[in-house]
A and B are shown apart, each in its own frame.
Chain A
Amino acid sequence: DTAVSQTPKYLVTQMGNDKSIKCEQNLGHDTMYWYKQDSKKFLKIMFSYNNKELIINETVPNRFSPKSPDKAHLNLHINSLELGDSAVYFCASSLAGTSTDTQYFGPGTRLTVL
């Protein structure tokens, strides 16, 4: 059983479209995260949710909107996609969202905006 899963694995779309990436964890964790890995390979945090409550909201364009229907799911919706949004997006989860909790990552979603 996959601990943290993301769908889709690959996403190719045109500029201006709206798309969503889904994330689910079956670890019973309270906290979930979205990270973006850009072309320079840096992994940067975008958002985190603890039990459906937004905790971390980094400087991310408001075209990006996370949605957590329950604590096992954290989806990422992106409006009006731009070329610069092309990246690999990783979902992660941890037990309680403390600084010493191990974060478990999903396999990533490679988004290509044409």
Chain B
Amino acid sequence: DQQVKQNSPSLSVQEGRISILNCDYTNSMFDYFLWYKKYPAEGPTFLISISSIKDKNEDGRFTVFLNKSAKHLSLHIVPSQPGDSAVYFCAASEMGQGGKLIFGQGTELSVKP
């Protein structure tokens, strides 16, 4: 039973345009959500996070939106750059679970010049 899902395995965007990556979850006990970015042959690196008490968090070109009623979050990258090409993982955690992260299966973003 996959509690965090990223239904788009890949996304291709033109440089300078907006990239929107989506993530859905099923466990209403999740209270913290994160996005990780992963380049080939490297480990995931933290990108941005959002607490369930917020609906938006912004960090430079990256913004995460949370819609709790829909159990949906999205990552917006504006403007997209070729260096953003990577696999993006959505993850969720629940208080009191020892930091256990539940990951989605990732979306591979390709930003074309």
Indicate if the CB atoms of A100 and B32 lie closer than 8 Å. yes
Indicate if the CB atoms of A103 and B46 lie closer than 8 Å. yes
On whether A41 and B106 interact (CB within 8 A), knowing A100-B51, A105-B45, the answer reads yes
Chain A residue contacts of B60, Cβ below 8 A: none
State which residues 28-43 of B face A: CB under 8 Å: 31-32, 34, 36, 41-43
User: Does B97 interact with chain A (Cβ within 8 Å)?
Assistant: yes
A99 CB contact (under 8 Å) in B45, B94, B104, B105: B94
User: Does B61 interact with chain A (Cβ within 8 Å)?
Assistant: no
State which size class the interface on B falls in: 20 to 34
Indicate if the CB atoms of B46 and A102 lie closer than 8 Å. yes
Indicate if the CB atoms of A99 and B95 lie closer than 8 Å. yes
Bound-state Cα–Cα, A98 to B32, Å: 11
Chain A residue contacts of B91, Cβ below 8 A: 43
On whether A99 and B103 interact (CB within 8 A), knowing A43-B89, A108-B41, A108-B42, the answer reads no
Indicate if the CB atoms of B32 and A50 lie closer than 8 Å. no
Chain A residue contacts of B94, Cβ below 8 A: 99
User: Does B113 interact with chain A (Cβ within 8 Å)?
Assistant: no
Chain A residue contacts of B46, Cβ below 8 A: 102-104
Of the candidates A40, A45, A55, the one having the most CB atoms from chain B within 10 angstroms of its own CB is: A45
Bound-state Cα–Cα, A60 to B6, Å: 24
On whether A48 and B100 interact (CB within 8 A), knowing A41-B106, A99-B94, the answer reads yes
Chain B residue contacts of A98, Cβ below 8 A: 95, 99
Residues of A participating in the B interface, judged by any CB pair closer than 8 Å = 4, 31, 33, 40-45, 48, 50, 55-56, 90, 92, 94, 97-108
A-B contact pairs, 26 of them (CB 8 A): A31-B99, A33-B99, A41-B105, A42-B2, A42-B103, A43-B89, A43-B101, A44-B103, A45-B100, A45-B102, A48-B100, A56-B97, A56-B98, A98-B95, A99-B31, A99-B32, A99-B97, A100-B51, A103-B101, A105-B43, A105-B44, A105-B45, A107-B41, A108-B41, A108-B42, A108-B43
